[in-house]
Amino acid sequence: MAAEPAEVQLQVRFVTKQEQYAVSDSPYAIQSNVQSSDLNTLVNALLKETKPSLQKSVEFDFLVCGELLCTTIAEHLQEKGVSTEDTLEIEYLERFPAPTPQECLMHDDWVSAVHTHGNWILSGSYDNSIHIWNTKGQHKLAIPGHTSPVKGVSWVSFNGDQAVFASGSHDQSAMLWVWNVTRNSVDCVVTCRGHDKGVECLAVAVDGTRFATGSWDNSICIWSTSLTDEDNVPAKKRSKPEQGNSREPMSTLKGHREAVSAVQWIDYNTILSSSWDHLLKLWDCELGGIKQEIAGNKAFFDADWSPLNNSMITASADRHVRLYDPRSTESIVKTTFTSHTGWVQSVRWSKTRDTLFLSAGYDGQVKLWETRSPRTPLYDLTGHEDKVLCCDWSNPSLLISGSCDNTVRIFKAKHAMESM
């Protein structure tokens, strides 16, 4: 074991990007054995002197050498190989508040897919049904239509009283639905058929004009979200009656050797996919070819892309979450996050903060991570009693997860600042 670092006095300077909490940037002398809680007390004392209008103390996190401080400063610096003799710059930022359980939405079977938009939640279940809820936990609709478990759901658009959403199922189909919000009635407008095996995942393009599905047939299909007939198969070509019109894919991307576990749109022409074949692929939708391929060492169960930081996170069979920067010329894996004790099944970036993401796994845990704290999650969100299969963010502070315990759970981080 490494020797305990000797206690010395340090010169530190406090900086922050949050102007309302700025203190003087003159150096302060502190002991090297202080931890985050001690720094918190010191910065709040400095704030009281300079900003008497701040009524109550603020909880801060501290970045030292680009990583959140989780030990004493001395241990942190020793690990980073940084001298204690130079003046140390410590950046502080308001801590993301601990999410607390809000609602528990009961289903009749495993919840395999969730997607949120504003105050509305879509959930897909192993009992073949889709459900619409509001974020206060009220159940609006149970929607039959698929004949096998629903594995992907996504909102497509909201226009006045009309909401459009897509669903994908192990019955090999994807469906486009129209929900009249005022009347609370729903219609399947289009059934999309092009896969030979079950649909495992789906994602809607940023502009809402197309969506992609990934399947156990190892392929990705791209579909139009148009509700009119121009993309539909003529009635005489149909082999069996469908709900709504039947539609064929605009294009099919082939290249994975095993089931496609996740699809995400990076921009209007680029799709990220992950697969059980241990590969991540970036596809050029127009050319139908592969732009980039990244090999992992285990099956990938999920992947998510953030436009805020141009990075992707992956969930895999080895219990680790990994952060990739596909543009990097050195190691593409930037960080590995290890805390789950079982397979990690789902990962989702925050839509408003470029350093926060969720992971959910077979260990029944949902974890909230900060990319600058790779060793320990910010928070463990407990409550599920079985494997967690899916997770999502509703807004900066509402977190959603679905589980084999037949529930969707909603967690809220109260008073989270909108920007950080």
Whether residue 235 is contained in a domain is answered as: yes
Domain endpoint, select from 68, 94, 120: 94
Domain CATH number, residue 154:
2.130.10.10
Number of domains within the chain: 2
- Secondary structure, 3-state, the chain: CCCCCCCCEEEEEEECCCHHHCCCCCCEEEECCCCHHHHHHHHHHHHHHHCCCCCCCCCEEEEECCEECCCCHHHHHHHHCCCCCCCEEEEEEECCCCCEEEEEEECCCCEEEEEEECCEEEEEECCCCEEEEECCCCEEEEECCCCCCEEEEEEEEEECCEEEEEEEECCCEEEEEEEECCCCEEEEEEEEECCCCCEEEEEECCCCCEEEEEECCCEEEEEECCCCHHHECCHHHCCCCCCCEEECCCEEEECCCCCEEEEEEEECCEEEEEECCCEEEEEECCCCEEEEEEECCCCEEEEEEECCCCEEEEEECCCEEEEECCCCCCCCEEEEEECCCCCEEEEEECCCCCCEEEEEECCCCEEEEECCCCCCCCEEECCCCCCEEEEEEEECCEEEEEECCCEEEEEECCCCCCCC
pLDDT at 147 over 70: yes
Domain span at residue 88?
9-94
Domain endpoint, select from 94, 109, 124: 94
pLDDT at 392 over 50: yes
Amino acid at position 334, single letter: K
Find the mean pLDDT for residues 22-47: 93
At 79, phi and psi to the nearest 5?
-65, -35
Domain endpoint, select from 67, 94, 121: 94
Whether residue 389 is contained in a domain is answered as: yes
Are residues 106 and 58 part of one domain?
Answer: no
Contact 313, 323 (CB under 8 A): yes
Are residues 282 and 396 part of one domain?
Answer: yes
Whether residue 303 is contained in a domain is answered as: yes
- 54-108 per-position pLDDT tens digit: 878 899 999 999 999 999 999 999 998 988 888 999 999 999 999 999 999 999 9
Are residues 291 and 174 part of one domain?
Answer: yes
Are residues 400 and 319 part of one domain?
Answer: yes
- 226-276 per-position pLDDT tens digit: 998 766 665 555 455 567 789 999 999 999 999 999 999 999 999 999 999
Are residues 150 and 122 part of one domain?
Answer: yes
Whether residue 1 is contained in a domain is answered as: no
Domain CATH number, residue 14:
3.10.20.90
Are residues 385 and 346 part of one domain?
Answer: yes
| Residue 420 binned pLDDT confidence (cut-offs 50, 70, 90) | very low
Are residues 144 and 90 part of one domain?
Answer: no
pLDDT at 415 over 80: no
Does this model's pTM top 0.85? My answer is yes
- 243-256 per-position pLDDT tens digit: 778 999 999 999 99
Find the mean pLDDT for residues 301-308: 97
